[in-house]
Amino acid sequence: MFRIRVADNFDPMNDPRPLVIHVVYSFDVGGLENGIVNLINRMPVERFRHMIVALTRCVPAFCERISRRDVEFLSLDKPVGHGFGLYPQLYRLFREHRPAIVHTRNLAALEMTVPAWLAGVPVRIHGEHGWDTSDLDGMSRKYQLLRRAYSPFVSKYVALSRRIESYLTDKVGVRADRVRRICNGVDTRRFAPVSVRQEIPDSPFNDPALTVFGTVGRLQSVKDHANLIGAFGVLVRESAEAARRARLVIVGGGPLLGTLQELVQSEQLDRHVWLAGERADVSSMTRGLNVFVLPSLAEGISNTLLEAMASGLPVVATNVGGNVELVVDGETGLLVPPASPGPLAEAMADLLEHPDRALAFGVAGCERVRAQFSLEAMVGSYLALYEECLKKPKRRVDSVIQSRNALR
């Protein structure tokens, strides 16, 4: 077990605020994790305090993105396999800290609602953010049954898209009144349109005559960067104009970095594609693009897609998961089939050849995000959910807080 306490003088056992413990598989660069960062940084400090428990590891550099100094981070270093072995450890953790709420996210952390229930945690919220390559579109019967088995230990579900909400009610069998849909929100002050594409530090593609396509995301199979590289290869090989003007930037680190570097070389795209690696300055990277591309095989409500739209970028995205709730095809961007390099290349060629259309997509997308997907709305929805869940089992919550105070 590895523990990080941001402020050495912070004493959580003498803090009267209700504690929310967020349980995730890992706390590292990713859309789910970035959503937690935004939530904690924007939630009223006086109402809740927070702890983040990663079944594997909290990465210190990523933890620094949380600006509050009263948040504690705990890494459990879970080995590969089922998490039964962590039950005693988590039971003791929950009994020691007496959280008012345990908030787990995605299937990898769902089973940790069991030790939370055993420890008497009064509210156990579980968020479903999307699916992985092992269960594209949630079709696995095994995973549906697993979710159903753990359902009695969950007080309330959060679905990040309409499709996930339907999955929980129709496939898993969760009652509709136990599910709350809360979409991700974007910081529209940090991500905002610029009149002219900005230079990206260290980028080889800062020439204003170029049209720069780009994507941001962890380099893992579900994001299908290989399809994007293949499609970009088709684009520049079939059009001399595209070969002269089009460039591709892929931002992110992850296990497939070496594989993708080899693919770029084998496709002879070294002069056209830049793998920028993991970057903390995502908003600066976004301002250096002309078109945002999201080639994922599965998605919930993508933070990076929202950020790109808020930045006024036209988008090309695969027709999967929550992407269809964000992108209005032909109005704010283009939707293409997943794992299909031909249609993806055609969509990129369309926006390269018709800059006025691309500009109109970007304006419409920005307006849509500002109207429907603000960060303030997201934080308000989570705050309302937490407050509502605490009121329902009020006697139980009061007894938990009293027990915690008695331990001081």
Q: Which residues contact 326 (CB under 8 A, 6 or more apart)?
A: 301, 302, 305, 306, 309, 317, 332, 368, 373
- b/e string for 280-301 if b means 16 or more Cβ within 10 A? eebbebbbbbbbbbbbbbbbbb
pLDDT at residue 404, as a whole number: 46
For the chain, how are helix, strand and coil distributed in percent, rounded to 5?
45, 20, 35
For the chain, what are the domain ranges? 2-185+375-406, 211-372
Residue 3 has a pLDDT of: 66
Instruction: Provide the 3-class DSSP secondary structure of residue 3.
Output: strand
Domain 211-372 falls under CATH 3.50.50.60: no
Among 254, 233, 340, residue whose Cα is nearest residue 296: 340
> Distance between CA 103 and CA 217 in Å, rounded?
24
151, 129 contact by CB (below 8 A): no
- Do the bridges between strand 211-216 and strand 291-294 make them parallel or antiparallel, or are there none, so unpaired? parallel
Strand partners, 27: 58
Measured CA to CA, the distance from residue 3 to residue 289 in angstroms comes to 38
**CA proximity to 62, closest of 94, 40, 37:** 37
2-185+375-406 carries CATH number 1.10.10.10: no
Residue whose pair of structure tokens reads 């230990």 in the numeric block: 153
Tens digit of each residue's pLDDT (9 = 90 or more) over 206-244 = 999 999 999 999 999 999 999 999 999 999 999 999 999
Model pLDDT, residue 400: 44
SS3 198: coil
- Looking at residue 56, its pLDDT comes to 96
Q: Give the pLDDT score at 5.
A: 59
pTM above 0.75, yes or no: yes
**How confident is the model at residue 217, as a pLDDT?**
92
DSSP category for residue 42:
H
The torsion angles phi and psi of 16, rounded to 5 degrees, stand at -80, -10
Going residue by residue through the chain (408 aa), what tens digit of pLDDT does each one get?
666 655 555 667 778 999 999 999 999 988 899 999 999 999 999 999 999 999 999 999 999 999 999 999 999 999 887 778 999 999 999 999 999 999 999 999 999 999 999 999 999 999 999 887 788 778 899 999 999 999 999 999 999 999 999 999 999 999 999 999 999 999 999 999 999 999 999 999 999 999 999 999 999 999 999 999 999 999 999 999 999 999 999 999 999 999 999 999 999 999 999 999 999 888 999 999 999 999 999 888 899 999 999 999 999 999 998 999 999 999 999 999 999 999 999 999 999 999 999 999 999 999 999 999 999 999 999 999 999 999 975 444 444 444 444 444
pLDDT of residue 171: 96
